[in-house]
Structure 1
Amino acid sequence: MATTIAVDPSLSLQIVRGGSNQHGAVIEEILGQIKVYKDGHTERPQIVPFVSPTLPLKLGVSTKDVVVDEFTDVWGARFYVPKSNRKLPLVVYFHGRGFCVGSAAWSCYHDFLAKLAAEAGCLIVLVNYRVFLAGDSAGANIAHNVVIRLGFDKPYPLILKGTILIQPFFGGETRTESEKHTVQPPRSALSLAASDTYWRLALPCGANRDHPWSNPSAKMEETRLLPTLVCISEMDILRDRNLAFCGALAKAGNKVEHVLYKGVGHAFQVLSKSLISQTQTKEMIAHVKAFLCTDYCIL
Structure 2
Amino acid sequence: MRRRTGAVPVGELRLSLRAAEAPQHQRCSVVVEEIEGLLRVYKDGHVERFPVVPEVPCTWLPELEVISGDVVIDPSTRVWARLYAPIAPPRGKLPALVYFHGGGFCVGSAAWRCYHEFLAKVASRAGCLIMSVNYRLSPENPLPAAFDDGIAAVKWIRQQAIHGQERIRWWWSRCDFARVFLGGDSAGATITHNVSLQIGSRLRGVVLIQPFFGGEARTSSESMAVPPGSALNLAASDAYWRLSLPPGESREHPWCNPLAGGAAARLARLMLPPYLVCIAETDILRDRDMDFCRAMKRAGNTVEAVMHAGVGHAFQVLNSSRVSQSRAQEMISQLRSFLRR
What is the TM-score normalised by the length of structure 1? Answer: 0.86
Mark the runs of 5 or more structure 1 residues left unpaired by the alignment: 1-14, 155-159
2: CA distance, partners of 1:114 / 1:259: 22
Is the CA contact (8 Å cut-off) linking 2:22 and 2:51 kept in structure 1?
Answer: no
Is the CA contact (8 Å cut-off) linking 1:99 and 1:202 kept in structure 2?
Answer: yes
Instruction: Kindly provide the CA deviation profile for residues 220-242 of structure 1, in whole angstroms up to 9, marking residues without a partner as x.
Output: 22313210000000010000000
Match of 2:313 in 1: 266
Mark the runs of 5 or more structure 2 residues left unpaired by the alignment: 1-20, 137-179
1: CA distance, partners of 2:253 / 2:42: 25
Pairing partner for 1:80 from 69, 79, 84:
84
Amino acid in the other structure paired with 1:168: P
Query: Post-superposition, which runs of at least 4 consecutive aligned residues in structure 1 deviate over 4 A?
Result: 55-58
Match of 2:266 in 1: 222
> Greater relative contact order: 1 or 2 (C-alpha under 8 angstroms, separation 6 or more)?
2
Question: How many residue pairs were aligned?
Answer: 271
Amino acid in the other structure paired with 2:196: V
Instruction: Kindly provide the CA deviation profile for residues 100-143 of structure 1, in whole angstroms up to 9, marking residues without a partner as x.
Output: 01111000000000000001111000000111000000000000
3-state SS in 1 of match to 2:94: coil
Tell me by how many angstroms 1:58 deviates: 6.3
1: CA distance, partners of 2:26 / 2:254: 37
Name the Cα RMSD after superposition: 1.7
Instruction: Kindly provide the CA deviation profile for residues 173-230 of structure 1, in whole angstroms up to 9, marking residues without a partner as x.
Output: 0100000124333x74111000000000001111111100010023222313210000
Tell me by how many angstroms 1:151 deviates: 4.4
Match of 1:212 in 2: 254
Match of 1:184 in 2: 227
Pairing partner for 2:185 from 123, 129, 136:
136
**Percent of counterpart pairs with the same letter?**
57
Match of 1:111 in 2: 117
Pairing partner for 1:53 from 58, 68, 71:
58
Is the CA contact (8 Å cut-off) linking 2:182 and 2:192 kept in structure 1?
Answer: yes
Superposed counterparts of 1:1-299, under 5 Å:
17=23, 19-56=24-61, 59-71=64-76, 74=78, 76-83=80-87, 84-85=89-90, 86-130=92-136, 131-152=180-201, 154=202, 160-185=203-228, 188-218=230-260, 219-223=263-267, 224=270, 225-293=272-340, 298=341
Amino acid in the other structure paired with 1:125: M
Is the CA contact (8 Å cut-off) linking 2:63 and 2:121 kept in structure 1?
Answer: no
